[in-house]
Amino acid sequence: MPANSSVARCPAGVLNLSKPAGVTSRDVVNLVQRLVHPVKAGHAGTLDPLATGVLVICLGAATRLVPFVQAGRKQYRATFRLGQTSDTDDVTGQVVPGGDPSAITEPQLADALQNFVGTISQIPPQVSAVHVGGERAYQRVRRGETVEIAPRTVIVDAIELLNVALPEFTVAITCSAGTYVRAIGRDLGQLLGCGAVMTALERTAVGPFRIDDVLPADRLNETTLRRHLQPPAVAVSALPRVVLTAAQVQAIRYGQTVPLAAAAGDDAVEHALFDAAGGLVAVARREGNVLQPQIVLPE
């Protein structure tokens, strides 16, 4: 196969894949990579092996847009079990008994969950990919170390109880990037005095990418990949849109600034720049009344 055949077959774009349980996010990326090599592929937000659901993978030049996908609001469906704790905050770790949850009622559970809605301070799990002292936390934990992880501020927009069959219950969660759903369960269990572990997790949305539109990983092949590949512009759909003239497109491609109309982006810092045909040309940063290109996509 000629070295550039994959490039011709698979232009830059974004895939909305469904990750199955029991594999890593990297495993799924590797499936894509084998189909598109030598085109680059990278995912926009890790899912733990336990988790399923939306895994967004960017291809080619669109890999440069990964941070914009990662910044999108996340939606999850998560199931927890009261009365247990775990070193991983889910059932993949060493699960041990917690307190007795038998006296907890559904109204008490619903009230307790509201403590985790809004702007909250959250300590990521010990077994997580957070960097501590130049290493991932989980790498140090695997050596038997106990790590001190600084709390971070995250935003939980909503938690909705979907099903309650105590000691288990299922919730829908909408939250900001960087939120650990299993840590919400851990902290809820501490608040209720009985402990809690996460038993299942499905990511149902990342920004505009929804579970209803996913391509299951087990159906991934050259034909389905091409059919489900979305244009790079989808990755920056949350940014203000600016349509350039032909002369401005050339200026941006040369790294030059272009003026920003007052109404085009209000107070937004980053803007998505398009040509007249609707193709994404660049992502630019507002500097005063001009736009300075930061990421320029190839023609």
Strand partners, 188: none
Q: In this structure, which amino acid lies at residue 48?
A: D
Phi, psi of 164 (to 5 degrees): -130, 120
Residues 6+ apart with CB under 8 A from 71: 177, 207, 238
Which residues 6+ apart lie within 8 Å of 85 measured at CB?
95, 96, 97, 98, 186, 189, 195, 196, 197
Which residue out of 27, 48, 87, 267 is catalytically annotated? 48
Per the structure block, which two tokens stand in for 88? Answer: 């991983």
What DSSP element (H or E) covers 77? strand 74-82
In the numeric block, which tokens belong to residue 220?
A: 């991934």
Active site residue 90: no
Question: Assign residue 15 a region: left if phi > 0, alpha if psi is -120 to 50, beta otherwise?
Answer: beta
Dihedral sign from CA coordinates of 10, 15, 20, 21: positive
- Inter-residue contact 261 to 293 (CB < 8 Å): no
Alpha helices (runs of H) in the chain, residue ranges in sequence order: 5-9, 25-36, 66-70, 106-113, 137-142, 181-192, 222-228, 246-253, 262-265
By annotation, the residues acting in catalysis are: 48
